[in-house]
Structure formats: C-alpha cells, structure tokens
Amino acid sequence: MIPASIALRNLFRNRRRSILSLVIVSVGTAGLLLTVGFVRYSFEGLREAIIRGGLGHLEVAPADALEAGGAGADRPGLPPSFRDWNQVRDVIESRPNVLGAGATIQFAGVATTGDSSASFFGVAVEPDRERRIGIDLRLRGGSNLGETPPSEGEETVLLGIGLARALDAGPGDTVTLVAPTPDASLNALDLSVAGVFTTGFQDLDSRILKTHLITAQRLLGTDYVTSLVVGLTDAETADRTVADLRAELAGHSPPLSVLDWETRAPFYGQVRSLYRSIFVFLGIIVALLVALSTSNTIMMSVLERIREFGTLLAIGTSRTQLAGMVILEALWLAILGGLGGSGLGIALAALINVLEIEMPPPPAAVDPMILALAVVPADLLFAVAFMAAILTVAAIPPILRLFRLQIVEALGHV
Amino acid sequence: MTDAHAMSQASPLCFEARGLVRTYRQGKVTVPALSGVDLAISAGEFVVIAGPSGSGKSTLLHLLGGLDRPDRGSVVFAGTDLGSCTEAERTAIRRDQLGFVFQSFNLVPVLSAYENVEYGLWLGGMARGERRRLVVRALEEVGLSERMDHRPDHLSGGERQRVALARGLVHDPIAILADEPTASLDSRTGATIVELFIRINQTRGTTFVFATHDPAIIARAPRLVRLGDGRVIDDGRGSVS
C-alpha cells in the first residue's frame, strides 16, 4: 500500500476537475518558466554586451586613479598613471584562465573637422588584445583599427555614430583631436576616420571615439596607461580571479586595484534588481491565481469525500494522516502540472526563439531587441518546486476543514 | 434471567456504559438522542440493539465506539474509560481494538477489496508480509478470496459488506460495532451476512454489537436490547414480544 499511489488515484476520481486544475497549474508553470527564461536571457545578454562591449571581465588599475575617478567604466579626464603595466600584464597573462590583458587609456577632449567640433570621450585600446579577449566592435561603416600600432602620421580613429553625425565626418575624413596632456598643456593630432561604430547606447554613441593605444599616448605625451582590461575564459571565474590577483598584486607599489565587471557596470545591478522585482511581482500574481483556483478544487475534492474521511477517521486514521493524504494529492497536482507546464514552457520558448520576434529598442538603446528566452534545467526544478509550495499552501484550508470534522456528522454526510 | 444475562455475568466486561446522555442541536432546537442509558456487554457477546428510527441506536453505537463523546455519563471499553482518553488514544483504540461495519459499507472506492482490508493494518505500521497473511485470511473467512483485486464498484452489495466485515475483523479486534449492516442489502443477502457475523462471533469470540431494526437479525439475537426515546426499554431475549 503506497500512499502516493492512493493519492494519485484519488486525484483522478473527478477527471474533468483534475484536468482543469492540471491545466491551471501547467499554464502557471509555463508562464513562470517563460518569465524566468526572458529574465535570464536578458541578464546573460546584458552581461555579455557589457563584457564584450569593452569592459572585459576585470580591470586592473592604480588604486589612486580609481579613488579619484570612481569604479565606474567612464573615467575620462584623469591622466594615465599606470607606469609598469607591461610587467603587471605579464603576471596577469600567465594565469591559465586569462585570455589576455589589453592596455587602455581613457581620455577626453575636443574633436574637430574644421567646420564642426564636439567634445569626446576617448578610449584607446590594443586591437589585437581586444580581439583575443573577445571584445566586439559593432561597426556601422568603414573598417576596424589595424592590429599593428600605426606609424606617426598614419593614425586612425573610430567614431561613435552620434559623434560622427555631430562632426559630419565619415570613413576617410580627417578629424583633429585636441586633449590636455598630463603636464596641463594642450596637444592636437590629426587622425583619419577608419570607421563608424555603435556601443548600442545613444548617449554614449554621441561622445565616444576609439583609437589605438599608441595614438593616445602620442596625443597625451605619455607611456603610461589608465588600466588593463582582462578577458577570462569563463565569466563565472571572475570572482575567484579577482581574489587571486588582489593577493598576487598586493605588494605592488603604487597599490593596484582589481575590479570585476559588475563593479564597473553598476547599472547591470540596477537592471537586475528591476527585473528581479518584476519577476517577484509576476510570481506573486501567478502564485495567487494558482493557489486560489486549486484551493477551491482541493476543497471540493475534500467536501465530496466527507463521509469517506469520516469512515477513515472512524477506523483509526489520525487527522494528521488525513492531512498528509490531502497534501500528497496536492503535490501530485503540482508535480504533474509542473511537468506538463515545463513541457509547455520549453516548447513555447523554443518556438519564440525560432520566430526571432523583434522588440522595440530598450530605453536609450540603439538596436531593436530580439525576444529570446533562456530556459535551463534548474528553472524546471524551480518551477515544479514553486508549484509544490503553492499547492501545499492551497491545501491548508481543506486540511483545516478536516481538522474540524466531527466523525459522527461526517458518517451521516450525504 | 436469559442466557445472555448469564453469560454477561460470567465473562469480563467488554463495554460498560453508565448514564449516557447525548443531545444534538438542530438549529435552535435541542434534540435528545440518549437520555440516560446504562448497558453492560461482556466479551464475546452478540448483542443486537433494536428500536425505531430516532430511538438512539446509532448514537449509542457511536458512543460505545469512541466516535463521539457523551454530554454526560461514561463508556468503559475493555477497562479503559473512553472519556478520559485523548483523541490520539481514542484513534488508536478504534484502529487496534475495534472494528466497524456501516450500513452503506463505506469502502474507499479507489482501493481494491484487498487494499480496503489492508488499510487499517498499514495505518498501524504492520510489516507488509504480515499484513498480507492477515488480509488473505480475513478475505477467505468472508468468502472473498477470489475477488480481492476488485474495486468496490465491481462488487455486489453483499460482497461489499463482506469486504467491510473483513476490514473490521482483519486486526482481530476485541469488538465489532455494526450500524444497520443489512439495511442496504436484500433479505437473502442480509441473512447470509448475519450468518457470517454469527459464525465469526462463535469461531473468533469477537464481541458483536449491532444496531438494527431488521427482524431477521432481531429474531436471531442471543441478546436483544431495545431502545425507545433514548432509553433502554428492554434488555434480554426473553422479553422480546
């Protein structure tokens, strides 16, 4: 005699009602899975966009520069102060999980074509290292920076699409960059526009430009860099690598800071919090809908069997054991509905992913968003467990009714 | 003095009810069900409680079986005052020491005949092998060994009542309480069931207490207790008119 088997048989005593309840639980489960899938895909997409958009997984920079400029991604205006970055890079790149460590300089100034001028936020990089790290460039015209450092007089620049529009410049045009040097004088350099790109964010596109590291060093008159951007083989190892590098670089003078990408991109945490709040809100609504409808079903199932429960009490079943039977029936409902909903959710997610439905660009973004969902096995377990919890709560009112049941009245129930 | 009375004085008491009073509320009206019942039933007796509808037969049976509590008075079963027991203790007594047979059989429809009989033993935590031995024996005793895998809806009324009896006796209880056990059966099947009850009473020595107004059972009662208006108006076969 297996209680679970009895509970399953009891569940299907009223097939139509049980099937309706299963549909409710399944739809609720599928809804949760799709929501989780969307949130997960959005998180992963945003994370990859941030990391591959130029931040990398980690950044190593002089601590005083970070104190002055903050931990955020944009720190223009501070003179490069990382002197022995080549030696530090050797240390970092000796780690097996490091794809590469690219030196960067962040700088600010004014760009002009003669007819038009605009202030800019410049990022100077090593294109070969960027490619090794996996940092993407979304070109909108022209070509990327060359991998080898350009000779003097052959320097090139990539303009953000908004900045290019403001300057009315495009590939092949010449732009003059004017920027303050570390000794507080001004320097200027003529660069040829190699291409136009987008970061995906309108606001940034109207200010940003990218050039080769050596070009920025010539403009600013320095050998120093702002920081090293580190790419890892696996984003999940970022925390561990930060800890290891902090320990390894602890004796460095001047002190170095090692920051992970999440610290450098605080808006990721904000977006995550927002999505999580939305998900919790949706989860509460789904939980309420499922709990209310299934509680009614379980209550009906109990009320229809009042005399049977009276008999079971009469022949020596305790009320706790009766409650256990009702909970088992509720759990079956959760498991079967959860599995059905998981199947439905996976099928819908696959369909949505295949259809590549285009969504409007998110606020401040440039490109439209493709609706896609990432459902992983852990989500299925979560959904079934969540439904089990809801159904257990839904079984409480019927169980309370059983605890108040008078045996004699129950035996006389028609 | 009847044979029944003589036996009751010779054997230890199975049930002893004293001054049982039970009233029910129906809306604003209080309806007396029992108005001071004294009754002693010895171990191994076969007692029929008879009386018209509303005389308090079922109420008395419920109180004897610990299914309900009296407003006043006491029930002592096998030396235990049921009024002083906790609900858990009464549940254990019903499970281990009493058997119940109901008018409408009250079998669990999703369980087979075998499982219905096995259920109480499973509740008591008995090992599977021992359960099987007792269940098969009980179903053989009531003549249903060939139908043990059938669910109640595939059994006739008489067969269902046999399963109910097997469920009531499988754990070898001290007493079986049966509330109108033949009321849902035709007279021939009812008579067969009564024969079965009497045979088990004689072979196992199980105490049987019936509530009925079935003349066939009343006619065969070794001891007949008549109730009227919630009181015992006659106790003993010799007084049956």
Average pLDDT over residues A202-207: 88
Higher pLDDT, B141 or B63: B63
pTM reported for the whole predicted model: 0.75
In angstroms, rounded to a whole number, what is the distance separating the alpha carbons of residues A403 and A323?
8
Distance separating alpha carbons of residues A49 and A63, to the nearest angstrom: 26
Sign of CA dihedral B45, B46, B51, B55: positive
Helix H segments across A304-318? 306-314
Helix (H) or strand (E) holding A112: strand A98-112
pLDDT of residue A309: 94
Which of B96, B106, B180 is the best mutation test for A, with the most CBs of A within 10 A? B106
pLDDT digits (tens, 9 = 90+) for A290-336: 888 888 888 988 999 999 999 999 999 999 999 999 999 999 999 99
Tell me if A313 and B91 make a contact (CB, 8 A cut-off). Answer: yes
Please choose, from the candidates A190, A51, A218, A14, the residue with its C-alpha nearest in 3D space to the C-alpha of residue A114.
A190
pLDDT the model gives residue B218:
86
Q: Report residue B50 CA to chain centroid gap.
A: 13
**Cβ of A414 under 8 Å from any chain B Cβ?**
no
Assess A359–B contact: CB distance below 8 Å, yes or no. no
How far is Cα of residue B119 from the mean position of the Cα atoms in its chain? 18
Interface contact A314, partner B, CB < 8 A:
yes
Look up the ipTM and state it.
Answer: 0.91
Per-residue exposure over A150-181, b if at least 16 CB sit within 10 Å of its own CB, e if not: beeeebbbbbbbbbbbbbebebebebebbbbe
Angle (nearest 5°) at CA A104 between A99 and A105:
175
**Where is pLDDT greater, at B26 or A209?**
A209
Burial label, B236 (beta-carbon count in 10 A; 0-12, 13-18, 19+): middle
Residue B5 CA from chain centroid, whole number: 20
Contact criterion met (CB below 8 Å) for A308 and B108: yes
pLDDT confidence of residue B219: 84
Which of A329, A411, A413 to substitute to test the interface with B, most B CBs within 10 Å?
A: A411
Q: What is the pLDDT of residues A122-178, one digit of tens each?
A: 999 999 998 988 888 888 999 999 888 899 889 999 999 999 999 999 999 999 999
What local confidence, expressed as pLDDT, does residue B8 receive?
Answer: 46
Structural tokens at position B147: 């139908």
| CB-neighbour burial class of residue A371 (10 A; exposed 0-12, middle 13-18, buried 19+) | middle
Kindly report the nearest CA distance between residue A403 and chain B, in angstroms: 12
Q: Specify the pLDDT at position A286.
A: 85
Encode pLDDT of A220-249 as tens digits. 999 999 999 999 998 888 889 999 999 999
Tell how far CA B180 is from the center of its chain.
Answer: 9
Mean pLDDT in residue range A190-216:
91
Is residue A65 over pLDDT 80?
Answer: no
pLDDT at A363 over 70: no
A389 CB-near residues (< 8 Å, 6+ apart): none
Mutate to test the interface with A, among B119, B161, B163, B174 (most CBs of A within 10 A): B119
Using CB atoms, which residue from A307, A317, A318 is nearest to B106? A307
B10 or A120, which is more confident: A120
pLDDT band at A69 (very low <50, low <70, confident <90, very high): low
Min distance A3 CA to chain B CA atoms (Å):
10
pLDDT averaged over every residue in chain B: 88
Q: Is the pLDDT of residue B241 over 50?
A: no
A4 and chain B: CB distance < 8 Å anywhere? Answer: no
**Helix, strand, coil percent content, chain A, rounded in steps of 5:** 55, 20, 25
- Would you list the DSSP string of A63-98? HHHHHHH-SSS--TTSPP-B-SHHHHHHHHHTSTTE
Distance CA A10, CA A109 (A): 76
Taken in order B122, B126, B128, B131, the sign of the CA dihedral is negative
Chain-chain contact of A311 with B118 (C-beta, under 8 angstroms): no
Please confirm whether the linkage preceding A254 is cis (ω < 30° from 0).
Answer: yes
pLDDT at B216: 77
A217 phi and psi angles, rounded to 5 deg? -65, -35
Residues 82-111 of A with CB under 8 A from B: none
Nearest to B102 among A316, A319, A411 (CB): A411
Helix and strand element counts for chain B (H, E): 8, 10
For A93-102, letters b (16+ CB in 10 Å) and e give eebeebbbbb
Is the model's pLDDT at A8 over the cut of 80? yes
Cβ neighbours of residue B54 closer than 8 Å, sequence gap 6 or more: none
Which residues does chain A have within 8 Å of residue B53's beta carbon, measured at their own beta carbons?
none
* pLDDT tens digits for range B95-150: 999 999 998 889 999 999 999 999 999 988 999 999 999 999 999 988 888 889 99
CA pair distance A261, A257, nearest whole angstrom: 13
Of A6, A9, A314, the CB nearest to B100: A314
Mutate which: B91, B98, B176, B179, vs A, most A CBs within 10 A:
B91
Taking CB atoms and an 8 Å limit, are A314 and B67 in contact across chains? yes
Interacting residues of A86 by C-beta distance below 8 A, sequence separation 6+: none
pLDDT band at A204 (very low <50, low <70, confident <90, very high): confident
pLDDT of residue A365: 62
Q: What is the mean pLDDT of residues B193-219?
A: 88
Q: What is the dihedral of CA A22, A28, A34, A36, to 10 degrees?
A: -120
Give tens-digit pLDDT for A178-197.
998 888 888 999 999 999 99
Chain B positions in Cβ-Cβ contact with residue A10 (cut-off 8 Å): 110
Mean pLDDT of chain A, nearest integer: 88
Contact A311 B106 (CB under 8 A): yes
- Whether A364 shows a pLDDT value over 70: the answer reads no
Question: 3-state class of B206 per DSSP?
Answer: coil
Q: Band of the pLDDT at A77, cuts 50, 70, 90? A: low
pLDDT of residue B240: 35
A408 touching B, CB under 8 A? yes
Q: What is the pLDDT of residue A78?
A: 73
pLDDT for B152-186, tens place per residue? 999 998 899 889 989 998 999 999 999 988 888 88
Pairing of strands B72-77, B13-26: antiparallel
Q: Quote the CA–CA distance of B181 and B195 in Å, as a whole number.
A: 12
d(C-alpha A266, C-alpha A272), whole Å: 10
Q: What is the mean pLDDT of residues A326-355?
A: 93
Q: What would the two tokens of residue A20 be? A: 């309706």
Phi, psi for B126 (deg, rounded to 5): -70, 150
CB distance B193 to B159 below 8 Å: no
First to last CA, chain B: 16
Sheet with strand B207-212: strands edge to edge? B98-101, B175-179, B207-212, B46-50, B223-228, B231-235
**For the CA atoms of chain B, what is the radius of gyration?**
17
